[in-house]
Chains A and B, each alone.
Chain A
C-alpha cells in the first residue's frame, strides 16, 4: 500500500494540455496516468492508488468539483491540485474548503506546478505513512480475542489488575496472563504507548 509507486493522475479534457502535461511529468521522471474525463478516473479509482491528482476544475460532463465530492465520499486521501482558468478563483476557494491541497491558475509556470505536485506527493507519503501506522495498530487490535480486547479497554481506563479480576469474576493471575498477551500482541512494553496507539485509531475503531 504505502510502498506502492506514487503516480500523478492527470484529469484534463483538453487534449493538448493533457498530452503536454504527461510529457512534462514523464521528463521529470514521474509516473503519470491521464484521463480525459472525470468519470473515467472515477471508474479506475481504487483505495490502493497513491500519488496525487491534477484536476481541471472546468470540464464537460462531471466537473472537477463533482469528482472531488465523489472521491471524498469514498474516503480518498489522494491530494488534489485543482487547475483553474481565468475567473474560477471562487470555485477554487470552494474546492480548498472541500479539502483540496492546492490550486494553480492557467497559464502557469511549470516550475510552480511541479513544486505543487512535489508537495502533494510528499503530503501523500506522510498521509499514507500515518495511515499505514494506524492500519498496523488496527490489525494488531483485530488480533486480540474478545476477552483480551475487554481487558485492554479496562487497562486503558486505568483499572488495576485486582479491580479487573473482581469485576470480571476471574482470578488476578488470569488477568495478568491476558494483560501480558495484549502487550505482546500490540507490540509494546509500555502502557502509556498503548494508550497513545489506541487513541490515534479511536476514530477508526468507533467507525466500525
Chain B
C-alpha cells in the first residue's frame, strides 16, 4: 500500500502506521481533502517515500516494530531532503515524556490515539500550510541567492567585500581573475597589504581606506594595484561604505583593470592628434589656395600705394630742384609717401597674418574688429563688385573665444563665395554680414548674398569634401570651414533666404566672463 492515491494536489501527506486498521481510518479521514496521500506501514518504507516525495506533513506512529517513530523522525531530520517536513507523532502514549521526546527530535506536533477525525484534519491542514509557506519562502530565498551569485559571478568588474580593517570577506571570480589569485585564497587577506604592499607612505591615504574607516565613498581612476604574483596593473575603482544603520561594516570595492582601456585611449589620442594635424594642414593648404586665387588682387593692392609713392617721390624731387623749394609742399608730399608705404606694409601684414600657421591659440576676440579686418582683406575682391560688403553688428554682441586666424579664414571664405555669387548673378546688391547673439552662449555671424543661390540638390552636398559648383573650385573650402568652426566649438550651416541668393552662418561660443586672455603675442611672431 505505497501508491500515491491522490495525484491532483500539491500538498503531500505521508501516513505511517504498522496497523492497517489505523492507516485505513487515517486515509478515510483525510481523503477528498485535497491532499496527495502516501501510505507506509513500516519505518524504512516511510523514509524511502519521504525522500522520494518530500511530503509536507508526515503522520508518524511512534510504536512500530523495527524502526520506531522516534528513529524515523531522527533520520528524517538528518536528511536535508526531508528535514523540513512537519512530523506529527501519533501514539496512544499520552504522557508528557513521550511528547517531550518527540518534540526534542524535531517533531512538530502530537496527536493522541484514539484520535478525533476533526483534530487530525485541522492539524494536518495547519502544518501543511506552514510547511508550504516555509518551502515557498526558502525557494524564494534560494532564487534570490542564486540571482545575486550569478550577478556577482558574471560581472566583469572585480568586487571585494571588506571589513573595517580592510580584510577581504568576499571576492567575486572576476576579482580573483584580475589579481591572478583565487577567491578562496583572497578571503581573509588584508586588502591594503595585498594590493599596496607594505606601504611606507601614509596608510590613511591608500585607496578605499577612508571608505573602510570613515565611510567616505571614493571613485578613482589610474590607481596602481599589486597583483598576487607581484606584478602591477592600473585600475579604476569605486568604493562604497557598508552601513548597518549607523554602524560602519567596512566597504564594497568594485574595480577593474584599465590597462587595455588606457592603451585604447592612448591610441585614440594619437589618432585624434593625427587628425587634428591633418586638419590644420588642410586648413593651411586651403588658405594658400585662397591666397593664390587672390594673388592678382593682392598685387593690385600693393601696386596702388607703390604707384602713388613713385609719383610723390618724383614730385618731391621736382620741388627740391626749384630755386626756392616750397618746403611746406615738400613736407606734405613726404608725409603722403610715408602714409602710402604704411598702406603697402599693412597689406603685407594682413597677408602674413592670414598665412601664418594657426597657433591653435584661442583668445578673446571682438568679432566686429575681426570682420572689419576681413572686409578690408576681401576688398581685394570687391574692386569689381559694386555693392561691396556691409557689416552690421548688434549692440549686445559679446566677445567670443576662438582662434582669430581660423575664424578669419572662415569669414573670408564665406565672404569671397558671396562676392563671387553676387558677381556671377550681375547683381549690385552688397554682401551683408550680420553679427547677433544667439541665446546667451553663442554669437552668430550670417553672410547673405543676392547671387544665384543654390539648388536643393546642391544644398545637401554643400559641406561634402570635393563637391564644388565652381569651374575651378577644389571643393575643400566649406568642408574646411566646417572643421575649423567645429574645432572652435561652434556650428556652421546654410539657410535658404526668402528672396534669391544664399545665406551661410556660423556660431562661436561667447568668451567666459573674466576669462584669462591667453598670452598670444601675435605681433612678435610677425616681426
Contacts and interface: CB of A to CB of B under 8 A. Distances in A.
Contact of B310 (A61, A86, A107): A107
B333 A23 contact: yes
Interface in A59-91: 59-61, 63, 85-87
Contacts of A17: 304, 307-308, 311
A58 B388 CA distance: 15
A59 B382 CA distance: 10
A58 B300 contact: yes
Given A14-B308, A107-B303, 18 more contacts: A16-B308, A19-B308, A20-B315, A23-B315, A23-B333, A27-B319, A58-B384, A60-B382, A85-B296, A85-B299, A85-B300, A86-B296, A86-B303, A87-B299, A106-B300, A106-B304, A108-B307, A110-B310
A109 interface: yes
Interface in A93-123: 106-110
Interface string B281-322: 000000000000000100110011111111110110011000
A28 interface: yes
Interface in B304-348: 304-312, 314-315, 318-319, 333, 336, 339-340, 343
A27 B300 contact: no
A59 B384 CA distance: 7
Nearest to A109: B310
Interface string B350-382: 000000000000000000000000000000001
A1 interface: no
B45 interface: no
A16 B333 CA distance: 11
A19 B307 contact: no
A24 interface: yes
Interface string A1-23: 00000000000001011011101
B300 A86 contact: yes
A107 B382 contact: no
7 contacts: A14-B308, A19-B308, A27-B315, A60-B384, A107-B307, A107-B310, A110-B311
A86 B385 CA distance: 18
Secondary structure at the A interface, as helix, strand, loop or mixed, is loop
B383 interface: yes
A100 to B, nearest CB: 19
Contacts of A109: 310
B386 interface: yes
Interface residues of B, number: 28
Secondary structure at the B interface, as helix, strand, loop or mixed, is helix
Contact of B336 (A20, A27, A61, A108): A20
Contacts of A63: 384
A171 to B, nearest CB: 70
Contacts of A60: 382-386, 388
Contact of B311 (A20, A59, A86, A87): A20
A19 B308 CA distance: 8
Interface residues of A, number: 23
A24 B311 contact: yes
Contacts of A19: 308, 336
Nearest to A58: B383
Nearest to B298: A86
Nearest to B382: A60
Contacts of B308: 14, 16-17, 19-20
Contacts of B309: 20
Interface in A8-64: 14, 16-17, 19-21, 23-24, 27-28, 58-61, 63
B314 A110 contact: yes
B201 to A, nearest CB: 72
B311 A14 contact: no
Contact of B303 (A28, A59, A61, A85): A85
A85 B307 CA distance: 10
Contacts of A107: 303, 306-307, 310
A19 B384 CA distance: 22
Contacts of B388: 60
Contacts of A110: 310-311, 314
Given A60-B386, A87-B296, A87-B299, A23 B307 contact: no
- Central interface residue in A58, A61, A86, A108, by most chain B CB within 10 Å: A86
Nearest to A59: B383
Contacts of B307: 17, 20, 106-108
Contact of A24 (B315, B382, B385): B315
A14 B318 CA distance: 23
A136 B382 CA distance: 49
A64 to B, nearest CB: 12
Contact of A21 (B296, B299, B306, B311): B311
A108 B304 CA distance: 10
A160 B303 CA distance: 68
B296 A61 contact: no
A125 to B, nearest CB: 24
A16 B336 contact: yes
Interface string B93-114: 0000000000000000000000
- Central interface residue in A27, A59, A108, by most chain B CB within 10 Å: A27
- Central interface residue in B296, B311, B343, by most chain A CB within 10 Å: B311
A87 B299 CA distance: 9
A23 B333 CA distance: 9
Contacts of A59: 383
B410 to A, nearest CB: 26
- Central interface residue in B308, B310, B333, B340, by most chain A CB within 10 Å: B308
Contacts of B310: 20, 107-110
B340 A16 contact: yes
A94 to B, nearest CB: 16
Contact of A16 (B296, B319, B343, B386): B343
Nearest to A87: B296
Contact of B305 (A16, A23, A24, A27): A16
- Central interface residue in B303, B333, B388, by most chain A CB within 10 Å: B303
Contacts of B385: 60
Nearest to A110: B314
A88 B432 CA distance: 29
Contacts of B311: 17, 20-21, 23-24, 110
B310 to A, nearest CB: 6
- Central interface residue in A58, A63, A106, by most chain B CB within 10 Å: A106
Contacts of B315: 20, 23-24, 27
